[in-house]
Structure 1
């Protein structure tokens, strides 16, 4: 058995007595383990370091990405929700396959287990982890930003009885805002994705208690309005960047929010 804690403690140095194929396979299995101390501990840190440092070569990274894309249909929730984290690392490194985007599109709005944290499984974070990958794909030159904005709308309008927790609405709003900083979008591109959101929620009469999926939508769009007004950080170390067509985005957000709440 591979001791990931020892490897992490050694500044993620590659063990000389283990072939890389075995190490990558072990990391992949660890990132789907139901034990949160295994899945979300040293193995995650080691994989992140090895991808960032180029320890894992490109063919193995691409194979790992294919495995993560396939994992979106896994029966285990923790396997599905940690797959986007690995893909986010890989795409951030410069790896990309169109099939990964398609697999993510099929999974993200259809995932029904939206728990942020589980007492036994630990962090699951389907919405937040998916949002991080949404933002990553949305900033990739080979992915049309409108495609990811439409996917965000699909996630927002998907019915659920679970109210986003652990700041998942903020993570989703951040991802959308980062996509909207792209300068290769028309004003229509930057706002049309909001139309199905308004159509979906504007058609229903608000009742109390407010349905979970409506609460999720309102919280996400309100946070997005703040980003449209003040800008969003491309990453934690950066200064806020303005959203492209931010005045039009703000106007459309206000119109959709008004449609939802004033009835």
Structure 2
């Protein structure tokens, strides 16, 4: 087995004694390993660095992306939830395939294991990792931004017993696209209002409703203040900012007053 920690310590220099196909295959397996020290350790850093540096050629990157897209149907939670991390690296580097979006769209609202952490498997973060990829696809010129906003609504309205709050920033980043129509910028909120606006709120508040309220409230703040792609960059304004804020306020009012 390759000593990825040593490679990481050597500034992620590509080993000269192993074919790149073998190296990428091992990295791919490591990013689905049930051992969190393997999956979320040096292999993650090495793969991200090699993709960013262009050390892996374009055909191999596309093959890797196809493998990650197929992994959304894997039986193992850790394999499914780390697939969007790798796809996010590839999309950020300029790689893209329409089939990746289709596979992600099928998986994200259907994923049932939304635990942030497991004592044995370590960090899983299906919602957070998916939110980052949703933003990556939502900012890609070949993906209609409204499609990713509707996908976010599907995730928010899907039943779950797990509480999460990592989706708002991904949505906000999609909403920064300047070619986004006002209709698409607010239209995805309609199904959320319909889904949560009919019944009375029970006590305690169910997890899926809590997720929705937390997400929309944070999104309102981001619409008002802007969203930072990374902590080092200035905040980007949301397109149709006032319309988005108004629509969010209307939906939140409808839900909490029901």
What TM bracket, shorter-length normalisation?
A: over 0.9
Q: CA deviation at 1:186?
A: 1.7
1:184-238 per-residue CA deviation (whole Å, 9 max, x = no partner) reads: 1221110000000000000121000110000000000000000011111133221
Are 1:261 and 2:256 an aligned pair?
yes
Q: Note the alpha carbon deviations across 1:75-125, whole angstroms, 9 max, x for none.
A: 000000000000000000000000000000000000000000111101000
Q: Quote the Cα distance in structure 2 between the aligned partners of 1:222 and 1:72.
A: 29
Per the normalisation by structure 1, the TM-score is 0.97
The equivalent residue for 2:136 is 136
The yes-or-no answer on 1:200 pairing with 2:211 is: no
CA distance in structure 2 between the partners assigned to 1:162 and 1:116 by the alignment: 9
Q: How does 1:46-125 map to 2 (within 5 A)?
A: 46-125=46-125
Task: Name structure 1 gaps, 5 residues minimum.
Answer: none
1:26 maps to 2:26: yes
TM-score by length of 2: 0.99
Shift of 1:15: 1.0
Is 1:237 the counterpart of 2:232? The answer is: yes
Structure 2 partner of 1:16: 16
Alignment of 1:176-255 (within 5 A): 176-255=171-250
Secondary structure at 1:151's aligned position in 2? helix
Cα distance between partner residues in 1 of 2:126 and 2:90? 18
Q: Could you tell which deviates more after superposition, 211-220 or 226-235? A: 226-235
Partner of 2:147: 147
Superposition deviation, residue 24 in structure 1: 0.3
Q: 1:157: which partner in 2?
A: 157
Q: Which runs of 5+ in 2 are unaligned?
A: none
Q: Within 2, Cα distance between the matches of 1:204 and 1:30?
A: 45
Task: Determine helix, strand or coil for the equivalent of 2:167.
Answer: helix
SS at match of 1:227: helix
Partners of 2:148 and 2:252 in 1: CA distance: 21
